[in-house]
Amino acid sequence: MYAYDEIDRTLVNERVSEFRDQVKRRLSGELTEDEFKILRLQNGVYLQLHAYMFRVAIPYGTLATDQLRALAHVARKYDRGYGHFTTRQNIQFNWIKLAELPDALEDLAKVGIHAMQTSGNNMRNVTSDQWAGVAPGEIEDPRIWSELIRQHTTLHPEFSFLPRKFKIAITASDHDRAAIKIHDIGLKLIKNEKGETGFEVLVGGGLGRTPFIGKTIKHFVHGRDILSYIEAILRVYNQYGRRDNIYKARIKILVHELGIEKFSREVEEEWQHIRNASLQIDDEVIEDIRSRFTYPAYEKLPHMPDELRQAAADADFEAWRKNSVAPHKVQGYSIVTISLKPIGKPPGDATAEQMDALADLADKYSFGEIRVGHEQNLALPHVAKRDLPALWKALDKLGLATPNVNLITDIIACPGLDYCSLANARSIPIAQELTRRFANHELANLIGRLHINISGCINACGHHHVGHIGILGVEKNGEEVYQITIGGRADEGAALGNLIGPGVKFDEVADVIEDVVEAYLALRERPEELFIDTVKRLGVEPFKERVYATR
């Protein structure tokens, strides 16, 4: 856990008081809605279909239990008793009243939580691997660097009014759980031949209307130079990124239009001016940040405790353990993923009661720490294996033990037309119907790893381009029509999916997805061949033939 010091706390409080002034000026009419819009967006407040929506940052997906309880408190006191975890390590509240927002922010500030830059054309919440610091084989904890960058990007005096939003993600594992290749800047922590920490820097990834996979701009930037290198990228983007057309304003378009070689030359030239100056980070600074991360005092525990051996007789426990429990870097411990995808419910939602109860469980079983992943699930990062049976029982009571992590019902979906003013089509009901179709865990297990991503419009908040199966809702002649792609992925092998055929109506989506899955089961070479691998081997055609033959 990172503990805010007095300096961080002061800044958060100063931001709350600034926002209070902005809300006051809006309510008194001193600010027009047009002026206020930009200011509220800088602080995570959108105007949605029914109400204001409030997006709170969970930097690099790490939460302490008092912070989770504060989120539960906001859900209960200012909203309708639940929150929605997003694909970028944020939580959204959908029914906030503008006049109460400053109070909600003040309540969150007490536990070091804020909503700075969770929307607007600025540098957004820095995201990272939800298994950071506990994943076996990780090079080092990427949250130290995430925190450094979080601070540097917070209220940046030069880059708070960019052409468009700007997202940074960091990973330090070979398996990329942070989706760095679909970010404006993706950072992969690596070591050079001298054993020094640095980053492979990717730039220009992003989804939306014109999706791009990020390209490597520099193979190694030393850790001491990472802030100046990011600054150089941002300075080039701030000056030359397009501002004439909102759909062409992301850095991916600038990189595409200039070409990565020319873009990287521009960045290099800017970087040479600033790299040996005040942004250079010395080891002491990194040490200081590291010193404010606390790590659990792990016990020496057996690899296979008796409790686990005994619980193995319970088939339901075993189903959950095999699905939701992952290896930890320390023997005797596990990482437990908590599915927020119960059958028939909106993906990513958690009630205030669930949040409170989960905070208690994290105190009891996970050294007071909770993580949030971009798949809209939570995790307890340090669970002793001997505690797994007891934890499972408690989670099951809360409806938080659905054993579907990474399976077909672990769907990523945006809020869609049920909430969002940008959406053209519903997302949540599609997800709900699909979870019902594949509710049988044996069937889901038989299908194996399969990610479905649903977006209710071209802005792609549900990351449909990179779903193994992607579903995009659009509007055609006043009707919701869904385009279906296959073969996308968001990990280290990131790729964009390909359309399998003409769009289908709302009522037909689940049938078509069932047909796609049936085609896969018939086409796969052996049970271990994952959906995504079958699509890679065979391409779209055989799927298209089977799915559309009878339509």
Partner 1 sequence: MPLVNGGKIADDRFVKLAVDTPLPESGDILVPAERFIAEADALLKRAGRVGVIWPNNRDIDELVPYLGKIAAVALVFPTFRDGRAYSQARLLRERYNYRGELRATGQILRDQFVFMLRAGFDSFEVKKQADAEAFMQTAKRYSVFYQPTGDGRITALHRRMQLRHSEGVGT
CB 281 to partner 1: min, Å: 8
Question: Alpha helices of 100-225 — where are they, by DSSP H?
Answer: 101-109, 143-153
**177-216 mask for partner 1 (x: CB under 8 A)?**
----------------------------------------
Stretch that binds partner 1, among 54-62, 201-209, 235-243, 374-382 (CB under 8 A): 235-243
Among 235, 321, 374, 489, binds partner 1 (CB under 8 A): 235
CB of 162 to partner 1, least distance (A): 6
Binds partner 1 by CB under 8 A, chosen from 118, 121, 173, 366: 121
**Residue 288 interacts with partner 1 (CB under 8 A)?**
yes
> Which residue intervals of 223-344 are DSSP H helices?
226-240, 251-258, 260-274, 283-291, 306-311, 315-324
Cα separation, 323 vs 320, in Å, equals 5
CB of 86 to partner 1, least distance (A): 23
Distance CA(173)–CA(170), nearest Å, equals 10
Distance (Å, rounded) from C-alpha 263 to C-alpha 445?
45
Task: Record the tokens describing residue 524, joined without a space.
Answer: 């796969």
Q: Which of 20, 110, 209, 243 binds partner 1 (CB under 8 A)?
A: 243
| Least CB distance to partner 1 at residue 11 (A) | 4
| Binding of residue 246 to partner 1 (CB under 8 A) | no
Q: Give the residue from 227, 225, 215 showing the smallest Cα distance to 258.
A: 215
To partner 1, the closest distance from the beta carbon of 522 in angstroms equals: 53
Q: Are 64 and 111 in contact (CB under 8 A)?
A: yes
Count helices and strands in the chain by DSSP H and E runs: 18, 21
- Alpha carbon 479 to chain centroid, angstroms: 30
When the beta carbons of 166 and 365 are compared against partner 1, the nearer one is: 166
Least distance (Å) between residue 154 CB and partner 1: 5
What's the min distance (Å) between Cβ of 236 and partner 1? 9
Strand pairing report for 45-47 and 52-57: antiparallel
Cα gap 242→248, rounded to integer Å: 6
Sketch the per residue contact string, 461 through 490, with partner 1: x for CB under 8 A, - otherwise: ------------------------------
Look-up: residue for tokens 């002491």?
284
Q: How far is the CB of 482 from partner 1 (least distance, A)?
A: 34
Question: What residues from 142 to 171 belong to the interface with partner 1 (CB under 8 A)?
Answer: 151-152, 154-162
How many C-beta neighbours within 10 Å does residue 236 have? Answer: 24
Alpha helices in 412-463 (DSSP H): 428-437, 441-447
Binding-site string for partner 1 from residue 12 to residue 41, where x marks contact by CB under 8 A and - marks none: --x--xx---x-------x----x--xx--
How is residue 302 written in tokens? 């057996």
Question: Which residues of the chain form contacts with partner 1 (CB under 8 A)?
Answer: 5, 7-8, 10-11, 14, 17-18, 22, 30, 35, 38-39, 121, 151-152, 154-162, 235, 238-239, 243, 273, 278-279, 284-285, 288
